[in-house]
Structure 1
Amino acid sequence: MRIATSQIYASSLSTMENQQSQLLAVQQQISTGVAISNPADNPLGAAQAVQLSATSANLTQYTTNQNMALSSLQLEDSTLSSVTTTLQSMSQQIQSAVNGSLNDSDRQALAKQLEGERNQLLTLANTTDGQGNYLFSGFQSTSQVFTNQSGGGVTYNGDLGQRTVQVAGSRQIAISDTGAAVFMSVSSVGTSAVAAGNSGNSGTGTISAVTVTDPTQATNGHNLSIQFDDSTGSLTYTVQDNSTTPPSVLSQDQPYTDGSPIDLGSGMNVTISGTPVKGDQFSVTPATASQNTSVFSSIDAVISALQTSATGNPSATANLQNALQAGLTQIGNSTSNVITTQASVGGREQEVKALQSVTSTNSLQITSNLDDLVSTDTVSAITQYEQISNALTASQKSFATTQQLSLFQYINP
């Protein structure tokens, strides 16, 4: 078989060009430290690199979301701590007025002090995150959460939405609680029924807080009333459950004894002291009843009671004591609700911190895997470079020698 000189030249040139190309590619890997600069270098590795890069980007976004969620939860946690402290301080001050040792002037001063703390509580309820977003307004993050009503009380301007953030592939976490849930409602669990006296009572009867005598029977869902009468010739009372239609009588015309417990028929009792008169009424309502749930309404009722003159008027003094006792229970229930919410916030904080640790570990692993895949193995690349360089040198020398192979060199002149 005869091989033309041109074929030898073309084959040698192709081999050297291929080796030169390989040499430049390896040289680029060494200089840049990148083993895969385009998909053609390693199609399978390039596909894996794209997948790892996407995973890394997701983890980076989750890290950002987790940091934001934790910051928001920590701000809410701190705010709720301040709310709890304020409510507990108000309860202590109201308790100081329950014993009846304060005169009208003292109660007026206490009412002013409570007004200041109420304003402080309203400021806390309207806390923002520093960027103009209100913590407790639900999805209405730019709307002021609470505004004072002209006739007393507050208006809630938010909604019932709970803002969430994606903190992991399959986990969204709530980063806020609504003002309605924190300041305008309470749970029936862990709270006390509210005992109160009718503001129109003309006797001197005062009602105590509810005492649970049988936890297995006690409920916090019945609207009970205690009515006094003297038609039998002596003072009696009737306990009635107004939660049913028609109302059901639990006990009727029971003789009244000052300071003796009154059985409410549901594992609870109260004590009424003093001397009620015919027509006086007392109530025991669930903690979740609408009139008992707004902490601002409870505080306003206490302030109004303290501003009403009672010195020298036994009936007015008794009504004041009943109003203060009811306010204490209501504010205590609201405090329990805030503490429960804060516990939930703390649990979410711990979850986010745990996710931060997991995400950080996964990010480091993905980064390491991606680096191993696309980064140049310098030792291996240099070895390969030397091998290709030596092969190219051999090819060049072989081609130079081949050029000299001709029959004409052996013809003597």
Structure 2
Amino acid sequence: MRVSTAYRYDSSIDSLQRRQRDLSEVQASMTNGKRINKTSDDPTGAARAERAYIAQQRIGSDQRSVDASRNAMKLGESTLGQAVELLQSARETIVTAGNATYSPSERNAQVQQLKNFRTQLLALANQDDGAGGFVFGGQTSGTVPFLDTPGGVTLAPTAAAGQTQASTREAMPTTLDGQAIWLSARSGNGVFVTGQSGANSGQAWISAGSVSDPAAITGSSYALTFSVVDGVTTYDVLQDGAPTGQSGVGFVSGSAITVDGMSFTITGQPGDGDSFTLAPSQPELSPFTALDNAISALSDPQATGSQVAQAVSSGLRDMDAVMAQFMSARAQAGTDMNRLDAIDSRNQDRMLWAKTAQASVEDVDMVQAISDYKQQESGYQAALQSYAIVQRMSLLDYLK
């Protein structure tokens, strides 16, 4: 068969271009370290690499949620720690204010300190997170959580903690529940609340009390009504307003009194007609209410010794209840941070897997790439030489 000179030229140029293209592709793979530079290089491998890349983006998004949640929990735990320190200082101040030798002006100095603690606590309750939200903002973190109204501190946003959710369906808190933490400590000793009924005329005060027999607790409300006849003091116990078997019981100051599993003491000398109450505990106590009650009682210049003692006893009881609530919330924040650390660890493992899967498909085997490069380079050089020979094989060259 005859092969024209033009065909030989075209064939040589085509071979040269193909060799040059193959060499260029090998060079590109060696430069960027990628075996797949376009989908047509390996459609199946490219699809696998794309899935691995998408998984990395999803894991990265999950990790950002973990980081945001961890930061919120750290800030919340730190804020609660500061609140506990303030309450401890307030507790010490209440003890100091109960000094029987203090004059009203000296006691007023302690009251001013309690007011200062209250202001600081409100600032902590409204702690911002630095990103336009509030640590204790609940489900509407963009609103100032607590408002100081004439009736006391109230919660503005929706209660419950705000949460974000990762693609793994694991809910992660982004705010803390201000209602549960700041406004829902159990009143009294956690089971029942002791107090005075109205303005008693005597000089007696009741302790916070404790549970002596849990099985005997009824959940009813009780009242101890005192009677003083010819210098003899006795009391009657009423349950939900009805008489009980404890009637005309002789009273001894500071002696333990037990009513249906609840033990407490009444110290001092009750007046005729004085009454003390026992009521079921409720999740309604806040540090602001506790401080307001203590401030109100201790700031009264006409307060008697027994009224001051009652204010101190109730104030210490309430401070302890609120601190226990805060410490429980801190413990929960610590538990959440441990869980977030576990999620973080799993995310790192998932990210390593996704990167490894992508690299196993995309990354070039450098030893193989160098071998291919040498092979393509030899082929390209051979093509150049062949083209050079073809250029010289013309009739004019022959006639010369």
Q: Is the structural similarity TM-score above 0.5?
A: yes
The answer to whether the 8 Å contact 2:188/2:194 transfers is no
CA distance in 2, matches of 1:234, 1:172: 64
Q: Which residue of 1 aligns with 2:360?
A: 372
Does the alignment pair 1:58 with 2:50?
Answer: no
Q: Which residue of 2 aligns with 1:176?
A: 175
Cα deviation 1:93-134 (Å, max 9, x = unaligned): 212334533232222121111111111111111111223422
Q: Which residue of 1 aligns with 2:276?
A: 282
The answer to whether the 8 Å contact 1:159/1:178 transfers is no
Q: Which residue of 1 aligns with 2:119?
A: 119
The answer to whether the 8 Å contact 2:141/2:175 transfers is no
Cα deviation 1:290-340 (Å, max 9, x = unaligned): 4xx1221121111111111246xxxx3323322331222122111100110
Percent identity over the alignment?
27
Letter in 2 for 1:386: K
CA distance in 1, matches of 2:24, 2:197: 96
Q: Judging changes above 3 Å, is the alpha-carbon distance between structure 1 residues 274 and 8 closer, same or farther for their aligned structure 2 residues?
A: same
Q: Which residue of 2 aligns with 1:206?
A: 205
Q: Which residue of 1 aligns with 2:238?
A: 240
Letter in 1 for 2:174: I
CA distance in 2, matches of 1:167, 1:364: 18
Letter in 1 for 2:309: Q
- Aligned pairs for 1:65-80 within 5 A: 65-80=65-80
Q: Which residue of 1 aligns with 2:286?
A: 294
The answer to whether the 8 Å contact 2:139/2:175 transfers is no
Letter in 2 for 1:184: L
Letter in 2 for 1:5: V
Q: Select the residue among 298, 313, 316 that pairs with 1:306.
A: 298
Q: Which runs of 5+ in 2 are unaligned?
A: 396-400
The answer to whether the 8 Å contact 2:220/2:279 transfers is yes
Cα deviation 1:250-285 (Å, max 9, x = unaligned): 63332322222111212x211112222332111223
Q: Select the residue among 357, 366, 370 that pairs with 1:382.
A: 370
Letter in 1 for 2:324: S
Q: Which residue of 2 aligns with 1:411?
A: none
CA distance in 1, matches of 2:277, 2:242: 14
Q: Say which SS state the counterpart of residue 75 (structure 1) adopts.
A: helix
Q: Which runs of 5+ in 1 are unaligned?
A: 409-413
Using structure 1 for the length normalisation, give the TM-score: 0.83
CA distance in 2, matches of 1:49, 1:248: 81
Q: Select the residue among 333, 339, 344 that pairs with 1:356.
A: 344
Q: Which residue of 1 aligns with 2:249?
A: 254
Between 1:97-106 and 1:254-263, the stretch displaced more is 97-106
Using structure 2 for the length normalisation, give the TM-score: 0.85
Q: Say which SS state the counterpart of residue 248 (structure 2) adopts.
A: strand
Q: Judging changes above 3 Å, is the alpha-carbon distance between structure 1 residues 219 and 87 closer, same or farther for their aligned structure 2 residues?
A: farther
Q: Say which SS state the counterpart of residue 247 (structure 2) adopts.
A: strand
Q: Judging changes above 3 Å, is the alpha-carbon distance between structure 1 residues 95 and 16 closer, same or farther for their aligned structure 2 residues?
A: same
CA distance in 2, matches of 1:217, 1:188: 20
The answer to whether the 8 Å contact 1:227/1:279 transfers is yes
Q: Which residue of 1 aligns with 2:227?
A: 229
The answer to whether the 8 Å contact 1:197/1:323 transfers is no
For the aligned residue pairs, the C-alpha RMSD in angstroms reads: 3.3
Q: Say which SS state the counterpart of residue 252 (structure 1) adopts.
A: coil
Q: Say which SS state the counterpart of residue 173 (structure 1) adopts.
A: strand
Letter in 2 for 1:120: Q
Q: Judging changes above 3 Å, is the alpha-carbon distance between structure 1 residues 396 and 90 closer, same or farther for their aligned structure 2 residues?
A: closer
The answer to whether the 8 Å contact 2:226/2:273 transfers is yes
The answer to whether the 8 Å contact 1:238/1:252 transfers is yes
Per-residue deviation at 1:13? 7.2
Q: Which residue of 1 aligns with 2:398?
A: none
CA distance in 2, matches of 1:38, 1:221: 75
Per-residue deviation at 1:80? 0.5
The answer to whether the 8 Å contact 2:226/2:236 transfers is yes
Per-residue deviation at 1:341? 0.3
CA distance in 2, matches of 1:190, 1:307: 24
CA distance in 2, matches of 1:97, 1:403: 111
The answer to whether the 8 Å contact 1:62/1:167 transfers is yes
The answer to whether the 8 Å contact 1:196/1:323 transfers is no
CA distance in 2, matches of 1:112, 1:102: 15
Letter in 2 for 1:88: Q
The answer to whether the 8 Å contact 1:135/1:141 transfers is yes
CA distance in 1, matches of 2:109, 2:252: 36
CA distance in 1, matches of 2:186, 2:38: 61
Cα deviation 1:332-384 (Å, max 9, x = unaligned): 11110011001111111222223323323432343243233222222211211
Between the two proteins, the alignment pairs up a number of residues equal to 393
